[in-house]
Amino acid sequence: MPSRVSSLAESAQTPGRRIKASASSAASASGGVQSLTRGLTLLEKLAESEGGITLTEISSRVNLPPSTAHRLLNTLADMGFVTQAKDSGLWYVGLKTYRVGCAFVSNRDFVGESHAYLRKLMEASGETSNLSILDGTYACFIAQVQCHEVMRMLVRLGSRIPAHASGSGKAMLSALPEDELAIVLRNSNLVQLTSKTITDPDKLRAQFAAIRARGYSYDDEENAMGLRCVAAPIYDEFAEPIGAISLAGPIARLTDERILKLGPLVAHTGREITEKLGGVVPVSV
């Protein structure tokens, strides 16, 4: 049996072995990162779907073979991040994913500090109030206080809509530093959701300037026909947007005249939440 010394000497004389071993380790690490990326992508797609999703559908959405998607889903299921209904076979986001999301919100205490203002705004306006954050190029809803009207806006918490086509999204985009705004606009699809959606970057920039000047934004059926939204940004201690508060309702109630009245109310509430969180409203706003 060769001694440990001779084995080490042999390895030193054959560097190809070490190169091969290093390449193998790198490949293993790369495979691990790839699996993680694929697993997180699966979670994102599950979160976007309502009412569950089949294996065939989700594998198609993430462009993976069904066998690979199934293996990753089973791993996530073992850890509690996803779950599968026994009767239908549909896949859903699991309880642990919800807990992770709640940890993000609770650590910032954003929802907790804002809830009283959401309710006060709803009572003062009679319309549904919402709290959202900017998630890349989307506005993501994280809290809502529904109004008492029969016709009202309902939104699933965690759902996202393109920022350029929503009052909340435009409020946050208008408050971004120029370099960050340029990146967001460059990476945005600027999809046309309705005939009123603004997809021209120059027109959006002009709107952002108007939003900064008056202190609030609104979308005029740009996300969904028949629906309007009035919103204002909420700032952190660096005078940068961390979210937005908004009111949304049918165009029959949110007329032009009413938006002119509700806009300053929403903007004032945004400032109140900013102060409560220790944030700073930019001097120019």
Instruction: Give 210-245 pLDDT, tens digit per residue.
Output: 999 999 999 999 999 999 999 999 998 889 999 999
Task: State yes or no: pLDDT of 123 exceeds 80.
Answer: yes
Q: Confidence band (pLDDT; 50, 70, 90) for 51? A: confident
Q: Are residues 80 and 134 in the same domain?
A: no
In a domain, 85, yes or no: yes
Domain boundary residue among 69, 97, 125?
97
Question: What CATH code is carried by the domain that includes residue 230?
Answer: 3.30.450.40
Write the DSSP symbol of residue 195: T
Q: Are residues 270 and 130 in the same domain?
A: yes
Span 169-196, mean pLDDT? 92
Residue 195, both tokens:
């005939």
In a domain, 29, yes or no: yes
Summarised one tens digit per residue, pLDDT across range 72-121 is 999 999 999 999 998 899 999 888 887 777 666 555 577 888 999 999 99
Q: How high does pLDDT run on average in the chain? A: 84
Task: State yes or no: pLDDT of 20 exceeds 50.
Answer: no
In a domain, 180, yes or no: yes
In the block, which residue shows the tokens 């340029």? 182
Q: Are residues 80 and 117 in the same domain?
A: no
Task: State yes or no: pLDDT of 284 exceeds 90.
Answer: no
Q: Are residues 249 and 157 in the same domain?
A: yes
Q: Which stretch of DSSP H or E encloses residue 83?
A: strand 82-84
Domain that holds residue 238: 109-276
Q: Are residues 266 and 142 in the same domain?
A: yes
Question: What CATH code is carried by the domain that includes residue 11?
Answer: 1.10.10.10
Domain boundary residue among 67, 97, 127?
97
CB-CB contact of 70 with 81 (8 Å): no
Q: Are residues 123 and 64 in the same domain?
A: no
| Per-residue pLDDT at 103 | 67
In a domain, 103, yes or no: no
| Per-residue pLDDT at 201 | 93
Domain boundary residue among 63, 97, 131?
97
Q: Are residues 23 and 156 in the same domain?
A: no
In a domain, 228, yes or no: yes
Q: Are residues 150 and 201 in the same domain?
A: yes
Q: Are residues 73 and 119 in the same domain?
A: no
Q: Are residues 220 and 183 in the same domain?
A: yes
pTM: 0.65
Exposure b/e, 86-111, CB count within 10 A at least 16 = b? eeeebbbbbeebeeeeeeebeebebb
Number of independent structural domains in the chain: 2
Q: Are residues 145 and 206 in the same domain?
A: yes
In a domain, 282, yes or no: no
In a domain, 224, yes or no: yes
Q: Confidence band (pLDDT; 50, 70, 90) for 174? A: very high
Task: State yes or no: pLDDT of 164 exceeds 70.
Answer: yes
Calpha distance 94→80 (Å, rounded): 6
In a domain, 118, yes or no: yes
Calpha distance 174→176 (Å, rounded): 6
Q: Are residues 178 and 90 in the same domain?
A: no
